Amino acid sequence: MLKKRNLVRIPLSALLHRSNPDFISSSLSPPQFSLSSSTSPQDSLSSTFPANNYTSLFLQNTLFSLKSFLCSQATNNGVLRCWSCDKVADSTPFLVCEACKSVQPVDSSLDYFQIFGSERKYEIEENLEGKYKNWQKKVHPDLVHTKSEKEREFAAEQSARVTDAYRTLSKPLSRAIYVMRLEGINVDEEKTITEPELLMEIMEIREAVEEASDSQALNQIQSQVQEKMKYWSKSFANAFKDRKFEEALDSIQRMTYYDRVNEEIVKKS
């Protein structure tokens, strides 16, 4: 049975008034995998910093899109038409009908880059947050609460998908995992690193975080961690561009570790 997914719901007013992109990470953290029962040092290190499970999110999203896909608005000749007023789509991606403003069902064949009209590449410099808010101004469930149940459902699904797209593309690590997936390469997010130098470094950073007594000390550690993230993000970008996917995977693993440490710092500060 296709179980209805728990849709992320953010009030429209909150979306329109907040400008800090970080709010997404605090209010919408993705599901986390369960802790390992193993007691090896590497496993305990990885379980201390549970990874965000984007794979599970992706699967949920795909399953959830199935229902909408079955009532897709595409006609036999591939022309998109509004389910409500029957007008042909005048723009792509067709999330909302410009003629009657009806929210359209999710089109699962669109990737996250297409939703924002962005080029499908890792290094993005566009105003994603602005585009995200613009979509929410058109598809948010609050806007259709007086409409039919069908359209309310479309809006809930469309809005959740736009949120998933923004959340995935706005952060370097999840974006890296996503572009790899578009290339057909699945990233094992639970794989642990065996390189002693890196493990030692991560443990030292963790100790420093635990011992940090004020926000100044924490900020200093955080900026070092962010520098590391930037370095490995750049390294990922280069490897990915050259289609050196093994190297790209290695960079992702390192980013995963620094990302977890960064989360610990955010929690403590």
Q: In sequence order, which residues have a C-beta less than 8 Å from that of residue 66 and are 6 or more positions away? A: 2, 108
Residue 89 or 248 having the CB closest to Zn ion:
89
| CA separation for the pair 231, 215 (Å, rounded) | 24
In the complex, minimum distance from the CB of residue 57 to Zn ion, in angstroms, rounded to a whole number: 30
Contacts of 104 (CB under 8 A, 6+ apart): 73, 82, 83, 94, 95, 96, 97, 154, 158
Q: What are the CA-CA distances from residue 46 to residues 1, 4, 192, 222 (Å)?
A: 34, 31, 7, 19
For residue 93, cis peptide bond before it (omega within 30 degrees of 0): yes
Least gap, CB of 232 to Zn ion (angstroms): 46
State yes or no: residue 97 binds Zn ion (CB under 5 A).
yes
163 in Cβ contact with 10 (< 8 Å) = yes
Cβ atoms 190, 252 nearer than 8 A: no
Region near Zn ion per CB under 5 A, out of 38-46, 58-66, 82-90, 187-195: 82-90
The per-residue DSSP string of 173-185 comes to: HHHHHHHHHHTT-
Point out which span in 65-73, 96-104, 135-143, 226-234 binds Zn ion (CB under 5 A): 96-104
For residue 31, give the DSSP letter. P
CB of 75 to Zn ion, least distance (A): 14
Strand partners, 80: 74
Pick one of 10, 15, 24, 82: the residue that binds Zn ion (CB under 5 A).
Answer: 82
Rounded to 5 degrees, φ, ψ at 80 are -85, 135
- 156 is an interface residue for Zn ion by CB under 5 A: no
Would you count residue 81 as binding Zn ion (CB under 5 A)? no
**Size of residue set near Zn ion by CB under 5 A:** 7
The one segment of 28-36, 66-74, 78-86, 213-221 that binds Zn ion by CB under 5 A: 78-86
Which residue number, 65 or 84, has a Cβ lying nearer to Zn ion?
84
The 192-211 contact track toward Zn ion, x by CB under 5 A, reads --------------------
Residue from the set 57, 74, 99, 208 that interacts with Zn ion by CB under 5 A: 99
Span from 71-79, 94-102, 181-189, 194-202 in contact with Zn ion (CB under 5 A): 94-102
Q: Does 88 bind Zn ion (CB under 5 A)?
A: no
84 binds Zn ion (CB under 5 A): yes
Q: What is d(CA 247, CA 240) in angstroms, rounded to the nearest whole number?
A: 8
Least Cα distance to 54 among 29, 36, 34 occurs for 29
Out of 35, 85, 88, 266, the only residue in the binding site for Zn ion (CB under 5 A) is: 85
Q: Which residues bind Zn ion (CB under 5 A)?
A: 82, 84-85, 97, 99-100, 102
